A = this chain, B = another copy of it.
Amino acid sequence: MDPAGAAHEHGGDLAAARRRFPGAPEPFIDLSTGINPQAYPVPPLSPDVFARLPERAALDRLNAIAAKAYGAPSAAHVVAAPGAQLLLPLVAALTPPGRAAVLSPAYSEHSRTAALAGHAVTETAEIARLAEADLAVVVNPNNPDGRIVATEALRRLAGALAARRGLLVVDEAFMDVGPAGTSLAGEVGENLVVLRSFGKFFGLAGLRLGFALSGLNNVARLEASLGPWAVAGPAIAVGTAALADAAWIEATRRNLEKSAQRLDRLLVGAGLDILGGTSLYRLVRTQRAPQLFEHLCRAGLLVRRFSYEQTWLRFGLPGDEAAWERLGAALILPASW
């Protein structure tokens, strides 16, 4: 592994899939990400949103609404950024170069960006080892397997790290569909950063909007690095509307859960073992994962595979009936399979 290298595989690259499988039916369907395919409806945007520099007052309103939606102590504990991804190296640099430990396997960018910030990075499956680090990273719920670390275990870890001036980063990119009461957003401070992603749950990943929730000193340092206009006008406008739309949020949580159960039925029906996931994706294990990946690609369905675990495939949610039917048909595997 080369955590500092720039080249990492990610989901979402339909163009590459099309090049490799030119005979696949169109539209090629992207199930390789954990992004809600039923996006929040983008409201009409005023020309000023594109033309003018975003004003501080608009950003403050967004941060206040985000604080409420995510359960942060206050708007002053919130930093908005052009995607949570861009925050990763800045958050890793909040603590001086030292030892970083990432609860793994998890979203691979945490190891890469911690190394970029000068840390010696360890990937470990044992949460106890995180307490020895200067920077500890937990993705919760985890991507790709949906593992949830018990809130009490996270609190103990945060306490142990704080006692040694270590920093705990909890990446809650998928917490919008996580179990109630498991977010640490309400407990952030100088030794605890919670990251939240806007684009996944709201299905608007192209907007680029994410948040760090932390103590006031960390917030000031992150804002100094991001500078005065990091978040685009369209992201501020749409984010402010969407995060305040409690009815849409609640209905979407329920709909995603139903969709994930429908996905489970297809996967189980195909004889696949489901390792875990969230309502936005499911992770399956099969010895024939490479063959299944290619079979699905030939059927115009891109799923996510993993260089570090070749028996895994992650399935996102189909976005419409045509996509559900294509997936259902492709998962009726030949008897010889």
> Which of A138-146, A230-238, A263-271, A323-331 has 4 or more CB atoms under 8 Å from chain B?
A230-238
Asked whether B224 lies within 8 Å of A4 as measured between CB atoms, the reply is: yes
Cα–Cα, bound, A37→B82 (Å): 25
Count A interface residues, CB 8 Å. Answer: 59
Asked whether B85 lies within 8 Å of A206 as measured between CB atoms, the reply is: no
Q: A15-B55, A116-B224 are in contact. Are A48 and B206 (CB under 8 A)?
A: yes
A228: chain B residues at CB < 8 Å are 8, 10, 85, 109
Check if A33 is an interface residue, CB within 8 A of chain B: yes
A16: chain B residues at CB < 8 Å are 56-57
Asked whether A233 lies within 8 Å of B220 as measured between CB atoms, the reply is: no
The listed residue with most B CB atoms (<10 A of its CB), out of A88, A112, A204, is A204
Q: A82-B82, A229-B83 are in contact. Are A224 and B50 (CB under 8 A)?
A: no
Asked whether B52 lies within 8 Å of A47 as measured between CB atoms, the reply is: no
A203: chain B residues at CB < 8 Å are 51
CB-contacts of A219-271 with B (<8 A): 220, 223-235, 238
A15: chain B residues at CB < 8 Å are 55-57
Give the shortest distance, in Å, between A133 (CB) and chain B (any CB). 22
Q: So how many copies of this chain end up in the complex?
A: 2
Check if A12 is an interface residue, CB within 8 A of chain B: yes
- A89 closest partner in B (C-beta): B225
A 1-31 binary contact with B (CB < 8 Å = 1; else 0): 0001010101111111000000000000010
Check if A149 is an interface residue, CB within 8 A of chain B: no
Asked whether B35 lies within 8 Å of A53 as measured between CB atoms, the reply is: yes
A230: chain B residues at CB < 8 Å are 82-83, 85-86, 208
A13: chain B residues at CB < 8 Å are 55-57
Check if A42 is an interface residue, CB within 8 A of chain B: yes
- A232 closest partner in B (C-beta): B208
CB-contacts of A116-146 with B (<8 A): 116
Please name 27 pairs of A and B residues whose Cβ atoms are closer than 8 Å in the assembled complex, sorted by A.
A6-B224, A8-B228, A10-B228, A15-B56, A16-B56, A16-B57, A33-B53, A35-B52, A35-B53, A39-B47, A39-B50, A42-B50, A49-B206, A50-B204, A50-B238, A51-B204, A51-B206, A53-B199, A85-B227, A85-B228, A109-B227, A113-B227, A206-B233, A207-B234, A208-B230, A232-B234, A234-B234
